[in-house]
């Protein structure tokens, strides 16, 4: 017999009754039933109930065993009494009478419990991540992640893609986030960088003539943490294709994600027709470029109904250039109580409140109610109701100003309304492509123009488009894929023409010499017959987070950092030794308190 096991803890069933077997695993739970010791023995594959009574030679040793000890047992498979069969586990028809037991690894007192998965502070869970990962939910999340990656690789291979690995140590390049710099021992005073993405390398793979590339790529960005973003590193499905347009990229990646979400989404519906929504419309309708389409609410501009009206706040706002009033429809939200709740929500978001109108019938026909309705009169409120398609029992909320100042709050209010009124179909996956991103954005305070998205994108219209008087009107062949309020994919058709690249970067304030210095390798490659190409990158962590129905990506990453970008398990980041600093020619300047 094998030194540790003849079967796993998920293998045995009624067909094994009478067999002598050997199992190894962790003590999941110990129960003493009147002198008979029952142990749920757990390994990676499942759980088997084992037991011993005082007649067993192993009984006295088993009395010392505690939760999460790692043990080996030998014993005989017995059938459970019919009334004691556990139909919830594959091994529920049998149990093992222990003849012999060996402790393979005793456990100290546990800082967190594995059985039952009680709640513990995240700091404790991350410090003892090796124990946290034994818990069923987290363990299953990691297996889900492995299977998702395996499925993605197979689907990409089926479409004729080749997987290539790109360097982890490379040169720094501005790609929208802070680099992690790596000092060089051989070149004192110079630094490598961990790649924010394989962007330049995958484009040069296209120049090299490899038509379809993909990689499950690690990316490193020194970012502030969020629930859906790691502060240090993450993995993405990175792909690039030659001789393609935007639709070709969509047609390639859609079946991959549809298949993954169908196979691992636990039966939840996956939308099959993925709309293409312009960035401008997404901001207007949803207040975000990653809309949750499970919520059917669409915001609308209603400025004309407030211009010159008796509601002086909105009327005066509209006298300023670039302002507008937007309405958030709230079907079935037509009560003062609900409107008060949404006002409280707006105040938590830092606003004095939101204007609202709700429609009711008090026996005399349809009536618009609320302070706003009294100020603008029945004719205007009726025009608003008809534009928004609302009925008795419905409401609408209003925000005004320059769109960039209130779009975010409006978007969050839309989400809150959808959830509170049960309008959002939480049990589904709804996808949408966001397209036609502006190439540039202007800083409101400094007036400086910079890239708003991927700087390596081809402008729509090529070189001629870059002659526009207002850079903010220039659109790029850039696109994101949103699902349930999260950005899952970002990509673009690339700028493969050096002269267009120089001009595009020049608009953002990068002189030709700076572009050549920072991106010389790619610019040089583009002078040797670069093909038109494009691609995208899909976030593995977020995909698995959605499939696992988790709210934080730390629940689907094997060894994540905490919110402060600290590794509590291995105590990173750590202080370098003086010898390491001398070898690198570095000196640490103490930070003032």
DSSP 509-529: T--HHHHHHHHHHHHHHHTTT
- Residue 223: per-residue pLDDT: 84
Section 437-457 average pLDDT: 90
Domains in the chain, CATH or no CATH each? 14-105 (2.40.50.140), 138-276+431-557 (3.30.930.10), 295-420 (3.30.1360.30)
Section 527-556 average pLDDT: 96
34-82 pLDDT, tens digit each? 889 999 999 999 999 999 999 899 999 999 999 999 999 999 999 999 9
C-alpha 55/C-alpha 292 separation (Å) is: 62
Section 454-459 average pLDDT: 91
Q: 518 or 474: which carries more pLDDT confidence?
A: 474
**H or E stretch including 303?**
none
Lookup result for tokens 């999941």: 28
DSSP 124-168: HHHHTHHHHTTSHHHHHHHHHHHHHHHHHHHHHHHTT-EE----S
- CA 435 to each of CA 173, 281, 282, 480: distance values in angstroms, whole numbers, following the listed order: 25, 10, 9, 7
Residue 132 pLDDT > 80, yes or no?
Answer: yes
Residue 314 pLDDT > 90, yes or no?
Answer: yes
- Residue 174: per-residue pLDDT: 61
- Residue 591: per-residue pLDDT: 79
Residue 106 pLDDT > 70, yes or no?
Answer: yes
Section 113-125 average pLDDT: 93
Phi and psi for 591 in degrees, rounded to 5?
A: -80, 135
C-alpha 108/C-alpha 539 separation (Å) is: 38
Section 304-325 average pLDDT: 94
Instruction: Provide the mean pLDDT of the chain.
Output: 94
**H or E stretch including 272?**
none
C-alpha 479/C-alpha 491 separation (Å) is: 5
Residue 18 pLDDT > 90, yes or no?
Answer: yes
Kindly indicate the confidence band of residue 176, based on its pLDDT and cuts at 50, 70 and 90: low
- CA 211 to each of CA 206, 257, 478, 492: distance values in angstroms, whole numbers, following the listed order: 6, 21, 20, 16
355-370 pLDDT, tens digit each? 999 999 877 778 999 9
Residue 248 pLDDT > 90, yes or no?
Answer: yes
Q: Which of 178-192, 220-234, 562-576 has the lowest mean pLDDT?
A: 220-234
According to DSSP, residue 467 is labeled T
Kindly indicate the confidence band of residue 391, based on its pLDDT and cuts at 50, 70 and 90: very high
Percent of the chain whose predicted confidence (pLDDT) is above 90? 87
- Residue 224: per-residue pLDDT: 81
- Residue 243: per-residue pLDDT: 98
**Contact present, 491 and 537 (Cβ < 8 Å):** yes
Burial class (CB in 10 A: 0-12, 13-18, 19+), 364: exposed
Q: Which of 48-57, 513-522, 548-557 has the lowest mean pLDDT?
A: 513-522
CA angle centred on 214, ends 208 and 215, rounded to 5°:
115
Residue 149 pLDDT > 70, yes or no?
Answer: yes
Q: What six digits make up the tokens of 201?
A: 């390398």
- Residue 593: per-residue pLDDT: 64
C-alpha 161/C-alpha 215 separation (Å) is: 9
Residue 175 pLDDT > 70, yes or no?
Answer: no
Kindly indicate the confidence band of residue 22, based on its pLDDT and cuts at 50, 70 and 90: very high
């Amino acid at each position: 017999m094998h030194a540790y096991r003849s079967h796993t803890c998920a293998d045995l069933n009624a067909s094994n009754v009478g067999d002598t077997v050997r199992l190894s695993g962790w003590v999941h739970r110990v129960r003493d039933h009147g002198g008979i010791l029952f142990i749920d023995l757990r390994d990676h594959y499942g759980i088997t109930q084992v037991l011993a009574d005082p007649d067993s030679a192993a009984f006295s040793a088993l009395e010392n065993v505690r939760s999460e000890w790692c043990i080996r047992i030998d014993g005989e498979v017995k059938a459970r009494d019919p009334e004691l069969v556990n139909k919830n586990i594959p091994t529920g028809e049998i149990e093992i009478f222990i003849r012999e037991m060996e402790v393979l690894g005793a456990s100290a007192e546990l800082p967190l419990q594995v059985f039952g998965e009680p709640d513990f502070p995240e700091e404790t869970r991350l410090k003892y991540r090796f124990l946290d990962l034994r818990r069923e939910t987290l363990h299953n999340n990691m297996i889900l992640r492995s299977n998702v990656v395996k499925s993605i690789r197979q689907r990409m291979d089926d479409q004729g893609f080749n997987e290539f690995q790109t360097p982890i140590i490379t040169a720094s390049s501005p790609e929208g986030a802070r680099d992690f710099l790596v000092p060089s021992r051989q070149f004192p005073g110079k630094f490598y960088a961990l790649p924010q993405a394989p962007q330049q390398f995958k484009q040069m793979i296209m120049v090299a003539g490899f038509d379809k590339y993909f990689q499950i790529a690690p990316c490193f960005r020194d970012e502030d943490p969020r629930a859906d973003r790691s502060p240090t590193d993450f993995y993405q499905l990175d792909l690039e294709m030659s001789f393609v347009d935007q639709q070709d990229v969509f047609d390639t990646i859609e079946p991959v994600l549809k298949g993954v979400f169908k196979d691992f989404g636990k039966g939840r519906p996956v939308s099959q027709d993925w709309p293409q929504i312009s960035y401008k419309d997404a901001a207007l309708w949803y207040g975000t470029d990653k809309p949750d389409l499970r919520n059917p609410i669409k915001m609308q501009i209603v400025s004309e109904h407030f211009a010159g009206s008796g509601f002086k706040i909105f009327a005066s706002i509209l006298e300023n250039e670039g302002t507008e009033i937007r309405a958030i429809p709230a079907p079935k939200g037509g009560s003062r109580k609900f409107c008060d709740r949404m006002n409280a929500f707006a105040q938590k978001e830092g606003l004095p409140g939101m204007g609202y109108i709700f429609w009711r019938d008090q026996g005399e026909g349809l009536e618009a109610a609320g302070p706003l309705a009294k100020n603008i009169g029945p004719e205007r409120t009726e025009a608003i109701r008809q534009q928004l398609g609302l009925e008795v029992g419905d409401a609408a909320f209003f925000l005004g100003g320059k769109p960039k100042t209130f779009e975010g709050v409006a978007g969050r209010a839309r989400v809150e309304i959808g959830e509170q009124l049960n309008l959002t179909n939480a049990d589904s996956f709804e996808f949408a492509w966001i397209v036609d991103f502006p190439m540039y954005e202007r800083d409101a305070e400094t007036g400086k123009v910079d890239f708003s998205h991927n700087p390596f994108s081809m402008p729509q219209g090529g070189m001629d488009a870059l002659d526009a008087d207002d850079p903010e009107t220039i659109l790029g062949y850039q696109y994101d894929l949103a699902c349930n309020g999260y950005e899952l994919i970002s990509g673009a058709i690339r700028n493969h023409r050096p002269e267009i690249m120089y001009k595009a970067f020049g608009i953002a304030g990068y002189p030709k010499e700076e572009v050549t210095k920072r991106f010389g390798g790619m610019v040089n490659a583009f002078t040797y017959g670069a093909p038109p190409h494009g691609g995208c990158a899909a976030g593995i962590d977020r995909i698995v987070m959605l499939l696992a129905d988790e709210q934080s990506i730390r629940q689907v990453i094997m060894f994540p950092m905490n919110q402060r970008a600290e590794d509590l398990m291995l105590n990173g980041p750590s202080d370098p030794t003086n010898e390491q600093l001398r070898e690198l020619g570095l000196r640490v300047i103490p930070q003032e308190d």
